[in-house]
């Protein structure tokens, strides 16, 4: 029996999962979607106190039969992080194969425009733990309810409405049953390698903020950046919150704004002190008060 998990999704905007702009049409790519999902999964794992290596590092590595100094075999969960456990790393292959199915349930090239319904099918090559299914489901739903997926996220909102195009918004129409819980997922993450070494620049859902029902135009986005301190908060900090959120050269901004569906904003900082500053800037500069913090989207009802 082949084990599958199937999510039915609806694109609310175009979803951009190709690597280059020159490709004709906008066909959904499994690799692009997997990368985006991994990104949200990592942010959730860190947010719940787990360690996630960050795929850009080349990730973890697994050596079956590897022994510690006293000759005891090191179990896999002490060699790799929980994200690599699901998404794979050197020596340990991904637990699933992702397929994109048309609205009639057949594998197909799905051109992803607004209104398009499609299925994400996870074919399980290795059986996932109930906690992993819970984490995967929550990651996908957080991205759907509050975030976005794929590339080409609106990095520079424009003042002219007609020139604005949003990417990466979608809705979950149906999802597989999950039999785990937040508490069990946390316990599961605690069985993996130490959680004290997360890179502070990597996304951690505890440091995220979300807004629904409003968006920032170009001027408001600039006011937001201007309101952020341009001097380091701590002596050892080499990148100020302003520089971090605006994005270094070749690096993405850390705040994204969408007009579609009544408006949406999401972004992230590196720690709780910065989160308070970012939320303060949104409140003071733009009068926005109904900010949803990452803690709530991780632990609350979705």
The answer to whether 54 contacts Zn ion (rule: CB under 5 A) is no
Q: How far is the CB of 59 from Zn ion (least distance, A)?
A: 4
Nearer to Zn ion, 198 or 220 (CB): 198
Strand 264-268, strand 170-174: pairing: unpaired
The answer to whether 53 contacts Zn ion (rule: CB under 5 A) is yes
Binding mask 220-259 for Zn ion (x = CB under 5 A): ----------------------------------------
Is residue 144 within 8 Å of residue 170, measured between CB atoms?
yes
Tokens of 255: 């705040």
Query: Which letter does DSSP use for residue 125 in this model?
Result: S
DSSP string, 198-234: --TTS--GGGEEEEES----HHHHHHHHHHS-SS-SS
Binding to Zn ion (CB under 5 A) within 65-104 occurs at: 81, 84
Q: Of the listed pieces 49-57, 158-166, 238-246, 263-271, which binds Zn ion according to CB under 5 A?
A: 49-57
Q: How far is the CB of 294 from Zn ion (least distance, A)?
A: 21
Of 32, 47, 50, 59, the one binding Zn ion by CB under 5 A? 59
Nearer to Zn ion, 18 or 81 (CB): 81
Tokens of 21: 């702009």
Alpha helices in the chain (DSSP H): 30-47, 76-79, 82-87, 130-145, 182-190, 218-227, 241-246, 272-286, 294-299
- Phi, psi angle pair for 125, to nearest 5°: -85, -30
Q: How many CB atoms lie within 10 A of CB 114?
A: 15
From the list 2, 25, 1, the residue with the least C-alpha distance to 14 is 25
Q: How far is the CB of 133 from Zn ion (least distance, A)?
A: 19
Q: How far is the CB of 99 from Zn ion (least distance, A)?
A: 24
Q: Of the listed pieces 17-25, 47-55, 175-183, 216-224, which binds Zn ion according to CB under 5 A?
A: 47-55
The answer to whether 120 contacts Zn ion (rule: CB under 5 A) is no
Nearer to Zn ion, 84 or 110 (CB): 84
Q: How far is the CB of 87 from Zn ion (least distance, A)?
A: 8
Q: How far is the CB of 53 from Zn ion (least distance, A)?
A: 3
**What does the angle CA 38 – CA 245 – CA 13 come to, to the nearest 5 degrees?**
55
Q: Of the listed pieces 46-54, 105-113, 187-195, 271-279, which binds Zn ion according to CB under 5 A?
A: 46-54
Of 18, 60, 149, 189, the one binding Zn ion by CB under 5 A? 60
Tokens of 64: 């079956």
Nearer to Zn ion, 84 or 275 (CB): 84
From the list 149, 158, 84, 96, the residue with the least C-alpha distance to 127 is 96
Instruction: Report the interface residues with Zn ion, using CB under 5 A.
Output: 53, 59-60, 81, 84
């Amino acid at each position: 029996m082949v084990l599958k998990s199937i999510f039915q999704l609806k694109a609310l905007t175009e979803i951009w999962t190709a690597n280059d702009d020159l490709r004709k049409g906008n066909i959904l790519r499994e690799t692009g979607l997997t990368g985006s999902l991994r990104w949200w999964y990592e942010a959730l794992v860190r947010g719940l106190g787990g360690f996630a290596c960050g795929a850009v590092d080349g990730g973890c590595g697994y050596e079956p039969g590897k022994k510690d100094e006293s000759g005891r075999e090191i179990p896999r969960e002490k060699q790799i992080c929980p994200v690599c456990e699901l998404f794979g790393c050197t020596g340990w292959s991904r637990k699933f194969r992702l397929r994109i199915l048309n609205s009639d349930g057949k594998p197909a090239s799905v051109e992803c425009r607004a209104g398009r319904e499609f299925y994400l099918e996870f074919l399980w090559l290795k059986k996932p733990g109930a906690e992993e299914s819970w984490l995967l489901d929550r990651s996908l739903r957080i991205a759907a309810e509050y975030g976005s997926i794929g590339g080409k996220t609106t990095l520079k909102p424009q003042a002219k409405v007609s020139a604005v195009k949003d990417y990466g918004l979608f809705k979950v129409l149906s999802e597989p049953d999950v039999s785990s819980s937040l508490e069990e997922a946390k316990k599961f993450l605690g069985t993996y390698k130490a959680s004290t070494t997360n890179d502070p620049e990597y996304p951690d859902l505890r440091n995220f903020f979300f807004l629904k029902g409003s968006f920032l135009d170009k001027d408001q986005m600039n006011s937001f950046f201007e309101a952020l301190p341009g001097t380091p908060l701590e002596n050892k900090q080499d990148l100020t919150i302003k520089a971090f959120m605006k994005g270094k050269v070749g690096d993405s901004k850390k705040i994204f704004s969408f007009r579609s569906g009544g408006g949406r904003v999401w972004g992230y900082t590196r720690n709780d002190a910065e989160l308070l500053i970012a939320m303060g800037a949104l409140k003071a500069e733009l009068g926005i008060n109904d900010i949803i913090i990452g803690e709530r989207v991780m632990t609350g009802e979705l």
